[in-house]
Structure 1
Amino acid sequence: MLNFEELKDFLNEKADIYNNSEFIQDDPVQIPHRFSLKQDIEIAGFLAATISWGNRKSIIKSADKMLDIMGNSPYDFVKNYSEKDLRSIEGKSVHRTFNGEDFTYFVRQFNRIYKENESLEDLFIIKDSETNFYHAIERFRAQFLHIEKHRSHKHISSPYKNSSSKRIIMFLRWMIRNDNRGVDFGIWKKIDPKNLSIPLDVHTGNISRKLGLISRTQNDWKTVLELDEMIRKFDDKDPAKYDFALFGLGVTKELF
């Protein structure tokens, strides 16, 4: 097992290798990279992140399908859609269990949110006493999901229910980190990257255990906090950069 300094150097090196524009080619982050308008980036990014489970090629293909439906102008579409537009979507399949009904629900919520807010960032603001997105994600859920119960609620997971909330955490990384490396956007200026966590899934969880970064066996919110504690010792200003290191180690299977 590597000691603290060796592990820090190893992870910094791996993060540096993978945190570049080549990373985009096969990753869902390529979807928001097709846009320059802030709100287009937010909507395309949020939709791509929401369906980010399973095979990455299939995620990108499904995100393409959503963009096509929106005429490749997401912000314009959510502001100006007609009911006829939405009715034509409802019966479509989009990505696995995320279907046309979910898609139209999201479009309606975006429409409402952007009438009241210039940016989705306003829904994720962290309060002074908070060091992570545990409460901020729940505040976002309360505002975005809006109505009591709907099938689409399952697509935005809840840290209060001990979910790792991997897809929202990944979306937050895209929007908040700003290191001029060409992957993350850094278009949200009101939230400090020091509060970000690692998007925790099967791969990052397994690699983190092999490296001794976490000991919990589940990939849940408690494990996100355990991983936070370790990676913030390596870099307390930009902990989420280590997502690139863990991802890279997953791709290369260097530890297996």
Structure 2
Amino acid sequence: MHLIDSHAHIYAEQFKDDRAEAVRRAGDEGVGKIYMPNIDHTSIDVMLETEAQFPGQCIPMMGLHPTSVDKDFERQLYLVEDWLSKREFAAVGECGIDLYWDKTFLPQQQEALKVQVELAKKYNLPIVLHTRDSFNETYEIISAAQDGSLKGIFHCFSGTAEEAEKVKELGFLMGIGGVATFKNGGLDKVLPHVSIEQLVLETDCPYLAPVPHRGKRNEPVYLTLVAKRVAELMGRDLEEVAEKTTTNALNLFKL
């Protein structure tokens, strides 16, 4: 069985003592590729070091996370574009809008997202979207910008069936992670009604560990637990879920 973790912060501080072991554990369970979303200027070096340590297995994106957007965001975006102009990345991301922690910089988050949408178009890359407590605000920007060339993932999707339909109409995929295993996660009411062609799997490690590891450090090896839950909710074989979601991820990402 082959799986792809489409969203994992395997370069994070939480893995500093056992990163190699975590990547090996994932590989032993069939998680062959781990796509790494960037956060901001502080995460670039360690992310690229992780890529160098695990070439072809840990694959970087380039973007500015919405919780790192403040009044100085334009300077960070210049750095993002500089990197995109210098070498290949799998996607623009992670970017989007986050209204869970703080709404102070919403206008700046909206502007930063619009800039990164244009970068995705310029470099013909998919875009990976963070939409915590902000599906409508993010959707509005992506919908207005969609001219047929935009593609990407609504990462950590935990919305409604109506929102899933909106994602489908945009031509985007939904990233499904540990929330699918949560008792009150809500995806049990959504996944039975969507197509497997709409989905990619992710961990968002070290966050959002699936049951029975909820509350502990997440890691890519736990992607198998997400895949099993998705198969259960969709009434499909585990092997089919693995095959289809892997194909979806490979078709989306250049690298």
**Same fold, TM exceeding 0.5?**
no
TM-score by length of 2: 0.35
TM-score by length of 1: 0.35
> Higher strand share goes to which structure?
2
> Higher helix share goes to which structure?
1
